[in-house]
Structure 1
């Protein structure tokens, strides 16, 4: 009968009184209340598993550098780099910035700083070629002279050269793959800056070649990190440079 039930919202908890008496006589422990939790006891929170964001950041970086470097080398007769805007804004910008935020989440300050900063670089670089921002038009004089614009890009490149050089020093105890990538990237920025100040075409080509080499190295690092034993029978070394305890 409903009036005989114990107060509960689960029907499976209901035990008829006669059955309860049988339990008391057979096994008294079945009706004992659960032991009280000690006030000192604390539940340990187990965080959800987070995937490795490094392959995503490396792939976005390698792809963006490769595309822009091919344009700088004027490969396939390309002389206008505006087709790289989408890659710069979304692959190099959004995707890489997101990877950087997740690197911070997993406790990797180096990867978080690098990916996030270069995500900002690619986004800002893509904006330079968007007419709606009017950046180039703002520097153009009445006679069509763009010296001020190119000097501004030179300053822009110089600032990123400093950042990249500092980051290269921070790579000295990572691994040979990452270190060599940043060495070539620093050279890429150096010649990009020189080209913007001088407008001598050979410096742009050198910048593009160094960028291509950098992108190939980053592609290698991407494969080395992504090809884990559970995904691929192939493994690639990165040649650890970290200081070992003696």
Structure 2
């Protein structure tokens, strides 16, 4: 046995828990048989542990959280990336509402979105935003938490028999609710425009997500402000807003996939197309120039 192999085997036994003379494994969560299987897997080159450099890092659980505490304690882990969760919550809720705005299946009332807006687009996205704050991402925390708040507010407005906001405004005049909704959406257009400026040095995929969303808020806001005599939003503008909403939803799913897929779970990496003037773009361009020189 080479010195390197002995070192690696020693590291494996240190992490998995060597079996003392009494026969009881040092790791109380593993039986002697489980310890031996894992040790042999790492030694002879098969199984998930065979691909772990035990000399540099503790062994990660290879079965997700369904292997609690088997190789690495929870308190020793870093935070995961909360962005894909928030993006997926935003994407699904936006997709359903945008499809209704486009008149899919002859649907006109967005009541089905209320449940999604409360549970997924609202609560889950808000939680993802708070986790972004925990990992130190101010932009992610601001964006995800704000849009989580948007969906919660949107659900409150449309909850049947709830706060009766729509019914109360319709009691004032025919123009009251659509005009109020138009101002509400235009306010989110202004907020999203601010975020668009902050994506100009990132990636094309990320920029398009907020750009499409910005146009969605603008078109829907104007659609409600230029409503018809019955107080319904302008149909053409509403459908146009629904179209850009769908594009925004698919862009969010694309960015989420780019954040989830890596070499551990995917055969390919999702391209996000860095802007040439971004820090990553300049770095890659500099490497290419040196390679050609």
TM-score (norm 2): 0.65
| 1:60-108: CA deviation from partner (whole Å, max 9, x where unpaired) | 1111110110010010111111010001111110000000011111111
Instruction: State yes or no: 1:181 paired with 2:209.
Output: yes
Out of 63, 69, 83, the residue aligned to residue 92 of structure 2 is 63
Does residue 78 of the first structure (1) align with residue 107 of the second (2)? Answer: yes
Among 140, 154, 166, the alignment partner of 1:136 is: 166
Partner of 1:14: none
Distance 1:76 1:228 in 2: 37
What is the 5 A alignment of 1:1-246?
48-130=77-159, 131-141=161-171, 145-199=173-227, 200-241=234-275, 242-243=278-279, 244=282
Q: Where does the alignment leave 5 or more consecutive residues of structure 2 unmatched?
A: 1-74, 228-233, 287-293
Q: Which has the larger radius of gyration?
A: 1
Shift of 1:121: 0.4
Deviations 1:182-224 (A, max 9, x none): 1111100010111111122111000000100111111111111
**Which of 145-154 and 199-208 deviates more?**
145-154
SS of 1:146's partner is coil
| Unaligned residue ranges in structure 1 (runs of 5+) | 1-45
Which stretch shifts more, 128-137 or 156-165?
Answer: 128-137
The CA RMSD over aligned residues, in Å, is 1.5
User: 1 CA distance for matches of 2:155 and 2:174?
Assistant: 19
Q: CA deviation at 1:141?
A: 2.9
- SS at 2:155's partner residue? helix
Deviation at 1:146, TM superposition (A): 2.4
Output the CA distance in 1 between the equivalents of 2:139 and 2:217. 20
Provide the TM-score with structure 1 as the length reference: 0.77
Larger relative contact order (CA 8 Å, sep ≥ 6): 1
Q: Distance in 1 between matches of 2:127 and 2:264?
A: 25
Shift of 1:47: 6.1
Q: C-alpha deviations, 1:100-128, integer Å up to 9, x for none? A: 01111111111111100100001001111
